Amino acid sequence: MVTQIPDPQEVAALRGLVDGFIQERLQLKLDKLKGDDDEVQAQRLSLQQAHVRETWLADAAKRVDWIQAASHLLKGIHPSARGTNLYVDAFICSDPYLVGTHSLGKQRNDDVTGNAAALDVFRLLKRPHKGQSLLSLLTQYDGAALQALSDDAEQASQWAQAFVGILAGKGGPASNTLAKQLYFPLTDDSYQLLAPLFPTALVHGVHTHLQEARFSDAAKAARTARRAKEPHAHGYCDYPGMAVRKLGGSNPQGVSQLNSERGGANYLLASVPPVWKDQGTQPPLRVTSVFDKRAVIGRDRTVYLIAKALRPFLESVADVDNNVHIRDKRAELVQAIIDRVLDIATELQCLNGGWSADPACKLSWSQKQWLDGDALEAAQAAHETQAEAIGAADSALAAPEATEWRDKVAEDFARWLNATISTDKIRMGDAEFVEWKHTFLEVLP
């Protein structure tokens, strides 16, 4: 309800907005009329009469029922589907960690679907005035907006109700055989049947952003500067692997107005796993332990960074009574180191079997069995070759045998970790050695 007298200047400005739009529509049609005979003159007069403000608005109030404003469309799922479309308010979801229509904020651009013969009505309702659309003002029953339609308050109210009706759904909720359906499980062994809709406002917002990133003058200038290896005020964005889905075929207007403005183009960002690039893991040769400072684990940057975080933590609590928080934090950091060590071990275990038989491999027998699945077979083959070369009868070499290597590897790890995290202020001793060994054994395959 209108509770105060509208500002005459606001009324005049909004009426000028309406009249200006109607006159633009009239001029487009008049420009198409050629000649000056009686028939053309009659057509010109008829158009002028039809585009008198109150006459045009009366017709528009009837035609607006042919279309519906929407933020989520069914036709975006399938162009031939008929069913419920939704107009969802931007504030229905405000979770900052979810990307959706609400993320668009003031950049939101609502869509419209229905009979193309009534799209001009929606264009009028979208006309902005001081940061708000005419439709938004009418939904608020703004007095100036109502009076801009007509000096007859009752007539203006009727038209406003008709125009605001563009936001309401047509009929009851309905789906279609061409729509998608998802069976969403519930806790009582039943399910909820979901019918997803196409987020047309969000899609258009993303499309606008991508177009700006790809084809704006600023983006083109930045790319040109890069090719010329010259400095530039800002960078640019690339979206590799992007695909384009065309909606509506030769009639994108049949889906929606925004789809028509995009020529039916809907960008799909690449959502595929990254291509694995082999980092070229090499066997740990010429070192006596994988935990040596120049070996694969000893020089790993991730291990280094975690150990770097663990040392100052242990120093900071050295003079504090032990408690569950300290123990949990220490266990968390140690477990992170163990996880990385096992990742590296897995990479070595994926190398071609038998690499530990290389004469340049100086690892202990226990580490060879841990990291090389074919260590025993390769060592036995090498032993036989060596024995044949010097004569089996004269050979004093013992044939390699499988041994219980897990304890020794865990001891190697515990010894290395003690040395790695010890500082002048804190020295790791036997108690820590036993703890690290036990923790490592629990997860060692």
The confidence score (pLDDT) of residue 93 equals 72
The confidence score (pLDDT) of residue 393 equals 46
Residues 137 and 36 in one domain: yes
Residues 388 and 329 in one domain: yes
The confidence score (pLDDT) of residue 100 equals 84
For 364-413, what is each residue's pLDDT tens digit? Answer: 988 998 998 787 776 666 656 665 656 554 445 555 565 688 899 999 99
Residues 155 and 261 in one domain: no
Percent of the chain residues past pLDDT 70, beyond the cut: 92
For 298-344, what is each residue's pLDDT tens digit? Answer: 889 999 999 889 888 888 887 777 788 888 898 999 999 999 999 99
CA 361, CA 372: separation in Å to the nearest integer? 11
Average pLDDT over residues 287-299: 91
Task: Tell me which of 382 and 272 has the higher pLDDT.
Answer: 272
Q: What is the pTM of this model?
A: 0.60
Percent of the chain residues past pLDDT 90, beyond the cut: 47
In a domain, 107, yes or no: no
Q: Average per-residue pLDDT in the chain?
A: 87
Burial class (CB in 10 A: 0-12, 13-18, 19+), 414: buried
3-state secondary structure the chain: CCCCCCCHHHHHHHHHHHHHHHHHHHHHHHHCCCCCCHHHHHHHHHHHHHCCHHHHHHHHHHHHHHEEEECEECCCCCCCCCCCCECCCCCCCCCCCCCCHHHHHHHCCCEEEECHHHHHHHHHHCCEECCEEHHHHHHCCCHHHHHHHCCCHHHHHHHHHHHHHHHCCCCCCCCCCCCCCEEEECCCCCEEEECCCECHHHHHHHHHHHHHHHHCHHHHHHHHHHHCCCCCCCCCCCCCCCEEEECCCCCHHHCCHHHHHCCCEEEECCCCCCCCCCCCCCCCCCCCCCCCCCCCCCCCHHHHHHHHHHHHHHHHCCCCCCCHHHHHHHHHHHHHHHHHHHHHHHHHHCCCCCHHHCCCCCCCHHHHHHHCCCHHHHHHHHHHHHHHHHCHHHCCCCCCCCCCCHHHHHHHHHHHHHHHHCCCCCCCCHHHHHHHHHHHHHHCC
The confidence score (pLDDT) of residue 88 equals 85
Residues 251 and 376 in one domain: no
Residues 129 and 219 in one domain: no
Structural domain ending residue among the three candidates 121, 147, 171: 171
The confidence score (pLDDT) of residue 13 equals 93
In a domain, 221, yes or no: yes
Note down the domain range covering 313: 301-443
Residues 253 and 322 in one domain: no
In a domain, 429, yes or no: yes
What total number of domains does the chain contain?
3
In a domain, 203, yes or no: no
The confidence score (pLDDT) of residue 170 equals 76
Residues 260 and 306 in one domain: no
Residues 410 and 316 in one domain: yes
Residues 382 and 264 in one domain: no
